[in-house]
Homo-oligomer: A and B are copies of this chain.
Amino acid sequence: MQRSFSFQHSVPKEWVDYNGHMNDAEYNRAFSQATDAFIDYIGLDENARSEWDYTVFTLETHTCYLQELKEGAAFEITAQVLDYDAKRIHLFLSMQNEQGELAATLEEMLMGIDQNEGRGAPFPESAAAAIQGVYEEHAEQEQPKQAGRVIGIRRK
């Protein structure tokens, strides 16, 4: 069986703002890079995408910022497929800091695109099987607390 997906990186100088912490936009960059790595992981790397004229678009993302990260701090992003269908992946990414604490989460909807038609198209069979594999890894787990959130001020 393939190793579970993991994206490891540390905070470069350029991602840190005047107060010494990773800028909020850069969390999204880290998650965007992790998403690219995840797309490779399910077998849709550059060669495959080019061969099949296929690509993957991000439709929407929801980010929760939980802990600050300083310059040089290492982090790891892991992935959970919350749901999927023939063309879409409902993906949840968790960023942990060096202490193993949750530093941020990204929930997102991805859509597979036929580049010739310019619209949604089913995942190639091998990718669909890989997506199902990642889904099944976590199928018994509880939904992460940060998934399915609506932004709003709750009043008593």
Interfacial residues, chain A to chain B (CB-CB below 8 A):
19, 23-25, 28-29, 31-33, 55, 57-65, 83-85, 88, 90, 107-109, 147-153
Contacts and interface: CB of A to CB of B under 8 A. Distances in A.
Nearest to A148: B150
Given A25-B29, A60-B62, A148-B150, 6 more contacts: A60-B151, A62-B63, A62-B151, A63-B63, A84-B153, A107-B151
Nearest to A32: B25
The 9 A-B pairs with the shortest beta carbon distances in the complex, nearest first, are: A28-B28, A25-B32, A25-B29, A62-B62, A60-B64, A24-B58, A61-B63, A25-B28, A83-B153
A153 B61 contact: no
Contact of A148 (B63, B64, B65, B152): B152
A92 B90 CA distance: 23
A108 B147 CA distance: 16
A131 to B, nearest CB: 12
Contact of A65 (B60, B107, B151): B60
A90 B153 contact: yes
A24 B88 CA distance: 17
